[in-house]
């Protein structure tokens, strides 16, 4: 059975990092952007990381520019923005694609394990869904991720146990992380 530990990703400098290095930890894998309405999610993510990292928790940050070009900078520029504005300390990896033919295999796996189930109810969520659908038309059946700040919760065995769209309350995300720990 495939787990996240079977994947290798690139760090910000382009070096290979095996996700098996994170065996035994609870992971939250997030595709991020610096110019998105959800960019303030960095703040509760960093708070959660500081509070829970000593209990075996890691956040893996994958910048992505596929959603309305909201992560246009270089890997170094993105990292500098995140550390200066939000004080992030969790690992940030090389910018990747999460949709289409060039989607990182990790994200194709994550989205296959936990497919999109909706942004939730309400006018704002319906508007985001319409905008996301327009943005992701070019990716066809490989539109794995609908928008920035989609979060995948991975248990200590490397299995994908939950998916949280950016519209989900960060308190609910944290509660799920705590339960997984």
State yes or no: is 36 an active-site residue: yes
**Secondary structure string (H, E, C) spanning 75-116:** HHHHHHHHHHHHCCCCCEECCCCCCCCCCCHHHHHHHHHCCC
- Do the beta carbons of residue 18 and residue 62 sit within 8 Å? no
Q: Cα–Cα–Cα angle for 127, 39, 166, nearest 5°?
A: 45
CA distance 12 to 60: 12
Residue 157 structure tokens: 């065995």
Closest CA to 110 of 32, 176, 167, 29: 29
Q: Please pick, among 17, 36, 108, 178, the residue that the annotation labels catalytic.
A: 36
Q: Catalytic residue numbers? A: 36
């Amino acid at each position: 059975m495939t787990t996240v530990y079977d994947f290798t990703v690139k760090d910000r400098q382009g070096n290979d990092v095996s996700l098996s290095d994170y065996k035994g930890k609870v992971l939250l894998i997030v595709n991020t952007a610096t110019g998105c309405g959800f960019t303030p999610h960095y703040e509760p993510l960093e708070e959660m990381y500081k509070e829970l990292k000593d209990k075996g928790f890691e956040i893996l940050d994958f910048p992505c520019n596929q959603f309305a070009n909201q992560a246009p900078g270089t890997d170094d520029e993105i990292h500098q923005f995140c550390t200066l504005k939000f004080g992030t300390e969790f690992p940030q990896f090389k910018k990747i694609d999460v949709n289409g033919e060039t989607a990182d295999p990790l994200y194709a796996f994550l989205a296959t394990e936990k497919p999109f189930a909706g942004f939730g109810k309400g006018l704002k969520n319906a508007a985001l869904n319409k905008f996301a659908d327009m943005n992701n038309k070019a990716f066809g059946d490989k539109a794995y991720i609908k928008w920035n700040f989609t979060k995948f919760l991975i248990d200590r065995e490397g299995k994908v146990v939950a998916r949280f769209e950016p519209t989900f309350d960060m308190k609910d995300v944290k509660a799920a992380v705590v339960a997984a720990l």
